[in-house]
């Protein structure tokens, strides 16, 4: 392959010589991976390398998912935008307050600001509906639907974003997506008339896609959600990807049933989206996102001071409300899946690595009391891990071989103190291709390159062919993989902590013809661009 001017000039027989030669003998050369579901919207302000995605062969990221973001935003609304990210994406407020530069107000200005930062990777933007509604409606956006006049203004701003190169818009109706003051994200209040207008903005331009967090119960598509999906496909005439389609052993047939119901809409552009990873989540009791779907836990997001949260955890009546929540069908109630990950108090160190079920049995209490008593004993500084879904190999084999399913949901940039799934491309290559032989190498690469490129309309990336952008990943198929355990590093603004997972076997990540990652280290190259639809 001959690369010149950031593009693949020739593939196959080369007509000239090169000033630099990369010998990839024995390795795989593939198009750079395109991650369709990230939340790097704030992180691009302080991390031009877009880590850890760049470590794992990702060359382009799609941001602005799930209806939450930081543009457009008036100066007086910045705290509200940051609090939305705190509650929905579990990014500490102190990190956002120290790290976001706020050198923009409108969405096109935000995209231009991203371009000025000279990122290492390519950035593609979805327009998240929450800040657009808030920009027009103020705090009323947190309470009600827009009027016809407000809807028109929001649609106009959305149109400006699309004209500036946004690849579509995103929204959510998930119960756990709570924003400022523990209230539902503003986009959750959008009426059907509003959604029609916003879908029509795409239809009128003949471009763009929609990302929608649609499953009020994970993996369950009920009649209202199916009707909404059908409605958006019709009004936009554009593709729609919806989350979260995970395999649940607590609802063993939910995913199969939902995919069967959606099948008639696939030809019109419906794309279920899943993560190829088993979901093991960190549960920090100061930021208990894993329990946000339970109505009783809403109060924990309304006042987030340690004293207020401790008072709630101590309250017997509140504990009983939590127990009632756990009786609902499909609720989480297996305390053997929650493990003590880390405690601060030396007296409690003996519990690290033990499950809540084991501790409850030892103390003669139920799981609710064991979880919360341990939390209070450690002054709310403890963390647990929660094993949830995508754990059945046979069902994951079935899911991964369904070509209608879009692979993604790595959530890069979000849930920083709880998890790191953004390295999923190397996990797919190491686990599902090499170890379990569930996918062929070629199909796995296609699903993480040309498939998301085609979905979003990124026309010059995702394939190896003359004239395409020189976004490439070079990896060793015998060793490629993602580290099994997360690593804590303190490199966020203000010294904040995040969880990362290292890659194995990724020899090089090349973006627009420049080597960004080589043999386990960043090179400092910043050849990424803001992609525009």
Indicate which CATH number applies to the domain containing 209.
Answer: 3.20.20.140
Q: With respect to residue 97, please indicate whether it lies within any of the assigned structural domains.
A: yes
DSSP letters for 13-40:
S-SS--SS----TTSEEEEPEEES-B-T
State whether 203 and 288 are in the same domain.
no
What percent of the chain lies above the pLDDT cut of 90? 82
Domain for residue 529, yes or no? no
Cis peptide upstream of residue 72 (ω within 30 degrees of 0): yes
**Is the confidence at residue 280, as pLDDT, over 80?**
no
Say what the pLDDT of residue 388 is: 77
Residues 259, 120 share a domain: yes
Q: Are residues 175 and 306 in the same domain?
A: no
Packing angle of the helix pair 129-137, 148-163 (nearest 10 deg): 130
Residues 301, 351, single domain; the answer is yes
Range of the domain at 49: 2-279+389-522
Does the residue 530 lie in any domain? no
Whether 532 maps to a domain, the answer reads no
Q: Is 230 domain-assigned?
A: yes
3-state helix, strand, coil in the chain (%, to 5): 40, 20, 40
**33 DSSP β-pair partners:** 58
pLDDT top residue among 332 and 454: 454
Judge if 441 and 496 occupy the same domain.
yes
Which of 334, 360, 387 marks a domain boundary?
A: 387
Higher-pLDDT residue of 380 and 280 is: 380
The mean pLDDT value for 255-283 works out to 93
Q: Give yes or no: residues 39 and 147 share one domain.
A: yes
Given a cut of 80, is residue 460 above it in pLDDT?
Answer: yes
How far is it, in rounded angstroms, from Cα 146 to Cα 200?
A: 16
Whether 386 shows a pLDDT value over 90: the answer reads no
Same domain, 123 and 242: yes
What's the confidence (pLDDT) of residue 292?
Answer: 82
Residue 336 has what pLDDT? 86
What tens digit of pLDDT does each residue of 95-112 get?
999 999 999 999 999 999
Q: What per-residue confidence (pLDDT) applies to 259?
A: 98
* Gap between the terminal Cα atoms of the chain: 27
Contacts of 263 (CB under 8 A, 6+ apart): 404
What pTM was computed for the model?
0.86
**Residue pair 497/89 in contact by the 8 Å Cβ criterion:** no
| Mean pLDDT, the chain, integer | 94
Residue 531 counted as domain residue:
no
Give dist(CA 97, CA 88) in Å, integer: 16
Pair 448, 37: CB distance under 8 Å = no
Single residue among 387, 412, 440 that ends a domain in this structure? 387
Q: Are residues 84 and 101 in the same domain?
A: yes
Residue 120: pLDDT over 70? yes
How are beta strands 209-213 and 168-172 bridged, if at all?
Answer: parallel
* Contact (CB, 8 A) for 300 and 312: yes
Residue among 479, 428, 527, 384 nearest 28 (CA): 479
Residue 486 has what pLDDT? 77
What is the Cα–Cα distance from 172 to 155, expressed in whole angstroms?
A: 17
Question: Please, what is the Cα angle at 405 between 401 and 411, to 5 degrees?
Answer: 115
Dist. CA 396–CA 92, nearest whole Å:
33
pLDDT of res. 76 = 96
85 and 199 part of one domain: yes
pLDDT tens readout for residues 167-204: 999 999 987 777 788 788 999 999 999 999 999 999 99
Residues 153 and 84 placed together within one structural domain of the fold: yes
Q: Do 20 and 166 sit in the same domain of this protein?
A: yes
Spatial separation of the C-alpha atoms in residues 222 and 262, rounded to whole Å: 10
Domain boundary, last residue among 357, 387, 417: 387
Question: Residue 11 class from Cβ within 10 Å (0-12 exposed, 13-18 middle, 19+ buried)?
Answer: middle
**Assigned domain for 533 exists:** no
Same domain, 79 and 183: yes
Alpha helices by DSSP H, listed for 290-355, are: 306-314, 316-326
Digit-coded pLDDT (tens) for 282-341:
788 988 877 887 899 999 988 789 999 999 999 999 999 999 998 876 556 689 888 898
Overall domain count for the chain? 2
What is the Cα–Cα distance from 334 to 512, expressed in whole angstroms? 48
Q: Is residue 527 in some structural domain?
A: no
């Amino acid at each position: 392959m001959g690369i010149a001017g950031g593009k693949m000039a020739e593939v196959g027989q080369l007509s000239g010589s090169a000033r630099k030669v990369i010998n990839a003998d024995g390795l795989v050369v593939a198009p750079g991976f395109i991650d369709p579901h990230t939340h790097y919207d704030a992180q691009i302000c302080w991390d031009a390398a877009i880590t850890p995605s760049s470590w794992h062969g990702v060359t382009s990221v799609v941001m602005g998912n799930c209806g939450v973001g930081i543009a457009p935003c008036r100066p007086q609304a910045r705290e509200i935008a940051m609090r939305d990210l705190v509650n929905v994406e579990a990014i500490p407020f102190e990190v956002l307050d120290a790290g976001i530069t706020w050198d923009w107000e409108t969405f096109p200005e935000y995209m231009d600001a991203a371009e000025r930062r000279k990122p290492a990777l390519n950035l593609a933007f979805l327009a998240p509906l929450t800040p657009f509604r808030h920009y027009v409606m103020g705090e009323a956006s947190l309470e009600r639907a827009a009027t016809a006049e407000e809807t028109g203004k929001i649609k106009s701003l959305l149109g400006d974003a699309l004209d500036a190169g946004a690849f579509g818009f995103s929204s959510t109706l998930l119960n756990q997506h709570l924003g400022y003051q523990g209230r539902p994200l503003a986009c959750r209040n959008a009426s059907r008339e509003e959604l029609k207008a916003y879908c029509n903005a795409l239809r009128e331009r003949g471009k763009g896609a929609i990302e929608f967090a649609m499953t009020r119960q994970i993996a369950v598509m009920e009649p209202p959600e199916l009707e909404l999906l059908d409605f958006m496909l019709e009004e936009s005439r554009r593709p729609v990807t919806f989350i979260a389609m995970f395999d649940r052993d607590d609802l063993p047939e939910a995913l199969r049933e939902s995919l069967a119901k959606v099948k008639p809409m696939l030809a019109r552009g419906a794309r279920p989206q899943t993560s190829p990873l088993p979901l093991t989540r960190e549960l920090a009791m100061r930021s208990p996102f894993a329990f946000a779907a339970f109505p009783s836990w809403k109060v924990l997001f309304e006042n987030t001071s340690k004293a207020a949260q401790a008072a709630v955890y101590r309250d017997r009546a509140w504990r009983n409300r939590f127990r009632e929540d756990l009786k609902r069908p499909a609720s989480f109630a297996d305390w053997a899946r929650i493990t003590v990950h880390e405690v601060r108090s030396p007296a409690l160190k003996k519990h690290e690595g033990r499950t809540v079920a084991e501790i409850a049995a030892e103390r003669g209490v139920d799981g609710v009391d064991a979880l919360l008593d341990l939390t209070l004993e450690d002054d709310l500084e403890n963390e647990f891990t929660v094993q949830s879904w995508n754990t059945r190999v046979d069902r994951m084999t079935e899911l991964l071989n369904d070509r209608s399913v879009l692979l993604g949901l790595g959530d890069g940039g979000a849930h920083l103190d709880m998890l790191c799934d953004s390295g999923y491309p190397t996990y797919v290559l190491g686990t599902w291709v090499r170890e379990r032989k569930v996918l062929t190498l070629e199909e796995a690469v296609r699903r993480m390159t040309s498939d998301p490129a085609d979905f979003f309309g990124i026309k010059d990336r995702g394939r190896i062919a003359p004239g395409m952008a020189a976004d490439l990943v070079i990896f060793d198929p015998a060793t490629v993989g993602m580290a099994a355990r997360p690593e804590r590093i303190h490199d966020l603004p203000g010294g904040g902590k995040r969880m990362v997972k290292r890659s194995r076997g990724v020899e090089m990540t090349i973006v627009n013809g420049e080597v960004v990652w080589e043999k386990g280290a960043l090179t400092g190259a910043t050849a990424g661009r803001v992609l525009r639809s």
